[in-house]
Amino acid sequence: MKPDNRLRQSPVQLDGRPHRTLVRDHWPVVCEYADEGDGPWLVDLSHCQRIDIQARPLAAMIPEGLPEPEAPGEVRIQDQSLITRMGKAQACLWRFGQAAAFPVGFNGTEITEATLALAILGRHTFAIAEKLSSLDLQAPGRSLPRLYQGPFAQVPCQLVVLDAAAGREMLLLSCSRGYGRDMVGAITNAGAEFNLRPAGEDRFMRMFENREKGA
Amino acid sequence: MAFTITCPICGPRSGYEFRYGGQDKGPRPDPAEMTPETWCDYVHMTDSCPGVQKEWWYHRAGCGIWFTIYRDTTTNLEVSPDSPEAVA
């Protein structure tokens, strides 16, 4: 029997020239684009593993060693993973880069193939977001990182504000895969005036690791 | 008409993010004592009175939960569950 070398396909293609790519877990990954510029950047993270957890109590389902966000809206970062608490009995795990796979037998529902994941990074990130959503992503008094669930470009999304400090802005976005092309089109159009450029996973990982160290 | 609804998970949001679920009529009639008439009344008959009513809402563009609020149907403003109008 021949080995199955088919590749997964991201729901979106960013309008840039990939400079360095690799294949990880059957997903083609762009590590770096040529001419990424000074930011802001748009990064396709659809290849990153995402797992939906629904349980009561929730703590019983979170893999050992990872922290549990205590209240809806809270987010925890550890070991290149991110956990968002969406409700009383629901959370979502994100695994970035080369983070260790979640344990075999772990009872979450993998939603990686069913959803789109993007990151908007760098200066003007929230100016771009403001053009596409009425959500108050920069509400003062809320600790970061923070999860918001609501419409972005009129699509129900999960939005994670990872950092809002000047020059280190990071916004993660996830929605149903079918909205991918239109979502990227809306973000690209909104970011045109700020010179939004596609960027590879490496740029996201550098910023995420810095954020994790400071978390 | 725009108004704000307070989701217990996400906080105050635009009413356009929600789907109306109808008046909260309390628990279903007891199946042991239910007649076609009582079931029909429970499903189809609403008070439709101007003023404060307890009603169901679904946060379809957000966290996806069903919850109840008290709303004054004449002003579209939420009313605290502890207020005299809501208690009445």
3-state SS string over A175-188?
EEHHHHHHHHHHHH
pTM given for the model:
0.90
Residue A90: φ, ψ to 5° = -140, 140
Between CA A40 and CA B22 the distance in angstroms is 44
End-of-domain residue from the set A90, A110, A130:
A110
Between CA A69 and CA A86 the distance in angstroms is 9
Contact predicate A77/A186, CB 8 Å = no
Query: Does residue A23 sit in helix, strand or coil?
Result: strand
Chain B from 24 to 83: CB within 8 A of any A CB: 59-65
Q: What is the pLDDT of residues A52-88, one digit of tens each?
A: 999 888 888 888 778 889 999 999 998 889 999 999 9
Q: What is the pLDDT of residues A14-45, one digit of tens each?
A: 999 999 999 998 899 999 999 999 989 999 99
Confidence grade of residue B65 (pLDDT, cut at 50, 70, 90): very high
Between CA B16 and CA A137 the distance in angstroms is 18
Interface touch B10/A86, C-beta < 8 Å: no
Q: Is the ipTM of this complex over 0.85?
A: no
Interface touch A156/B60, C-beta < 8 Å: yes
Rounded to the nearest angstrom, the minimum Cα separation between B20 and chain A is 17
Contact predicate B66/B57, CB 8 Å = yes
pLDDT of residue A141: 86
Structure tokens at B24: 């909260």
The total number of structural domains in chain B stands at 1
* A contacts of B17 (beta carbons < 8 Å): 150-151
Interface touch A72/B63, C-beta < 8 Å: yes
Same domain, A67 and A105: yes
Domain carrying residue A168: 18-48+112-214
Contact predicate A102/A49, CB 8 Å = yes
* A contacts of B60 (beta carbons < 8 Å): 156
Is A185 domain-assigned?
yes
Interface with A, mutate which of B4, B5, B6, B9 (most A CBs under 10 A):
B9
End-of-domain residue from the set A110, A131, A147:
A110
β-pair partners for A124: none
Residues in chain A: 215
The total number of structural domains in chain A stands at 2
